[in-house]
């Protein structure tokens, strides 16, 4: 692909063409010809807010996004959704089930949905998510939603990529709140107690509210929702809007950029190192009585 084609492709993306956007993401995600030219041509001054949605499996994150989309499209907002699904560590396949849960908006002209496989990333995100978000920012979206895999405390890395982070919990999470505080609970800009029609929702919401969390002048709110019944969704949408315009995202910008740069440098230095190749070498040597993992890694490095 020559530079002229890259420029034309990005021009179409900026004009709101979803087919060009999907093609651009595919080129970058799979590192096909021209992907580096695309990345080097991206404008980084987009103010489109990135909303990260994280929480334990079964908290109803996809249903929550679906309910938010219903409200936002009624307001003629344009939304991009990057939904990360877990990848098998053995065959590297992925169900990409979020496409099924968001099927109502497949063909909506204001909604772009992209499922991404985590590809072995342990933090609940896809290793290519940084680039995908920056490509989505070249479009004409009012919000970019990012839904993580839902793997527990390691999902704190979403805080390094999202301007606003929603931590979704359910009433059954009540007994686990103390254990979660050191990890995922620290990153919330907004707490969402979903499935609020269940017993214990009120108590959990009060416990979170009484924790009195505050981040740079933003008192972290708690909202109760029932995504399937669209209860509390309008309040949540207003809180997202308020946080996006509160100035809190501006103070976070340097951290976000530094975090992205660190991850990109880390990945660049790991190029050429294949887990599959390492596995094949270990398979040959592991039964050797003189095999030493640390010596093996030192020789590999």
pLDDT tens digits, one per residue of 154-203: 456 677 788 999 999 999 875 556 555 556 667 889 999 999 999 999 99
Q: For the chain, give the mean pLDDT.
A: 83
User: Would you state the pLDDT for residue 97?
Assistant: 52
**What three-state secondary structure class fits 83?**
strand
CATH superfamily ID and name for 43-265: P-loop containing nucleotide triphosphate hydrolases (3.40.50.300)
In percent, how much of the chain has pLDDT > 70? 81
Give the Cα separation of 85 and 75 in Å (integer).
28
> Strands 214-215 and 218-219, how do they pair?
antiparallel
Phi, psi of 117 (to 5 degrees): -85, 140
Q: What is the pLDDT of residues 252-274, one digit of tens each?
A: 677 777 878 888 888 888 888 88
Q: What is the pLDDT of residues 220-246, one digit of tens each?
A: 999 999 998 999 999 999 999 999 877
| Domain span(s) for CATH 3.40.50.300 in the chain | 43-265
Q: Within a 13 Å sphere around the CA of 271, how many CA atoms are in the beta-carbon half?
A: 6
Q: What is the pLDDT of residues 102-156, one digit of tens each?
A: 778 888 999 999 988 765 544 445 678 889 999 999 999 999 999 887 655 445 6
Residue 11 CA, chain-centre distance (Å), reads: 25
Residue 72 in contact with residue 137, Cβ under 8 Å?
no
């Amino acid at each position: 692909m020559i530079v002229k084609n890259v420029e034309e492709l990005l021009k179409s993306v900026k004009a709101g063409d979803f087919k060009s956007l999907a093609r651009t993401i595919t080129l970058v995600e799979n590192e096909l010809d021209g992907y580096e030219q695309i990345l080097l041509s991206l404008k980084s001054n987009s103010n489109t807010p990135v909303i990260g949605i994280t929480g334990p499996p079964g908290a109803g994150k996809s249903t929550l996004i679906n309910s938010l989309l219903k409200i936002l499209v009624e307001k003629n907002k344009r939304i991009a959704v990057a939904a990360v699904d877990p990848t098998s560590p053995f065959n590297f396949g992925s169900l990409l089930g979020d496409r099924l849960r968001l099927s109502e908006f497949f063909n909506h002209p204001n909604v772009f949905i992209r499922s991404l496989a985590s590809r072995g990333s342990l933090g609940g995100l896809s290793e290519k998510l940084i680039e995908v978000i920056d490509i989505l920012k070249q479009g004409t979206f009012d919000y970019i939603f990012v839904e993580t895999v839902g793997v527990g405390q390691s999902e704190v890395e979403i805080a390094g990529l999202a301007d606003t982070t929603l931590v979704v919990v359910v009433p059954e999470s009540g007994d686990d709140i103390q254990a979660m505080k050191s990890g995922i609970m620290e990153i919330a800009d907004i707490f969402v107690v979903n499935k609020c029609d269940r017993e214990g929702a009120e108590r959990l919401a009060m416990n979170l509210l009484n924790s009195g969390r505050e981040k740079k002048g933003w008192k972290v709110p708690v909202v109760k929702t029932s995504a399937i019944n669209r209860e509390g969704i309008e309040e949540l949408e207003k809180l997202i809007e308020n946080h996006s315009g509160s100035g809190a995202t501006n103070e976070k910008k340097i951290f976000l950029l530094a975090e992205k740069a660190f991850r990109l440098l880390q990945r660049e230095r790991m190029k050429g190192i294949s887990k599959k190749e390492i596995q094949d070498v270990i398979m040959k040597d592991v039964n050797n009585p003189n095999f030493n993992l640390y010596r093996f890694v030192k020789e590999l490095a």
